[in-house]
A = this chain, B = another copy of it.
Amino acid sequence: MSKGPVVIEVTRGPVVESRHEGIAAVVRPDGTVVASWGDIDTPILPRSANKPIQAMPFVESGAVEKFGLGNEHVSLACASHNGESRHVETVRAWLKKIGLSETDLECGTHPPRLQATIEALVREGALPTPAFNNCSGKHSGFLSTAVTYGEPTKGYIKYDHPVQRRLREVMTDLCGTDANAFPYGIDGCGIPTLATPVRHLARAMATMADPSRLSSKRAEAANRIRAAISAEPFMMAGTGRFCTRINGALPGVAQVKTGAEGVFCGMLPTLELGIALKIWDGAGRAAEVAMATLLGHLGVLPAAQKDELLHPPVKNVVGLLVGEMRPAKSWLG
């Protein structure tokens, strides 16, 4: 069933200038592999691509109801956001609701992803704060969970903190193998990122898409998270972003999430499938084309976006079209 690798090409004129390879799995909640490319037993670091799963303990805790939170907050808990003003202001208001502030976020501070936002800050003479960190929503979810359970908030990013232990418990339940046994690295935002075989990561996504075999409380949380992503696609990414575009165009049908270093995950509730993919070299540009290609292959990519998402243009400095990205003929091109 496993075929050759995922291959994405970058052309310039008549030449294939660059080439990305990867692995991908499309899996059912019971672990059946519907399609795969490359060795899907290879463990990968999911990075931010499993944030929807990392939001599960937050929703299960009842924090959403306790603190009067809405879809925008649940979507932010799954976000790698641009640090645009709606993201930042919502995070700040959220932290206030739970009696905390930005100084409690342990994700650190980086310049917002969107150049326009950086320039707006410079014009104001302001510096970014932790709320601008693309992970600030996820971390606000972690803090909300700790507050709800009456746990210490300090150190919530550590492997042995209850917040992180709970993530491994959920991962174990969703992917059908013991996540406590996974080696791990430290993610950009400071939390452990667990080396998960692509097969199991895709199965966890499938279980999020069709949570019928989970406990009713856990299944409800998965449904709540998918609904929030569909309702608030801007909050989980932002202006111009692939995730916002796909999730906004396919409410109820697809909820996809990018991760650093070329990872992408997707939940397809109407098809009862999960997707996980990794581009070996870590290129986000190729992970996006690969996810679009898989969505097209599974028949859910909006016709209006097909051409641009499967063949994103490569332009030069003056805006001339000089090449394109595309799935290779040897893969699904």
Contact = CB atoms under 8 A, between A and B. Distances in A.
A37 interface: no
A18 B316 contact: no
19 contacts: A13-B186, A15-B184, A15-B185, A17-B185, A19-B281, A110-B317, A118-B118, A119-B119, A119-B122, A122-B123, A123-B123, A133-B317, A186-B316, A187-B316, A189-B317, A190-B316, A190-B317, A280-B281, A282-B283
Nearest to A262: B18
Interface in A307-333: 316-320, 322-323
A261 interface: yes
Interface in A179-200: 183-190, 193, 195
Interface string A276-308: 000111110010000000000000000000000
Nearest to A323: B185
Contacts of A15: 43, 45, 183-185, 195
Contacts of A318: 108, 190
A251 B240 CA distance: 45
Contacts of A19: 280-281
Interface residues of A, number: 50
B281 A18 contact: yes
Contacts of A158: none
The 4 A-B pairs with the shortest beta carbon distances in the complex, nearest first, are: A13-B185, A12-B185, A108-B317, A18-B282
Contact of A18 (B107, B190, B280, B319): B280
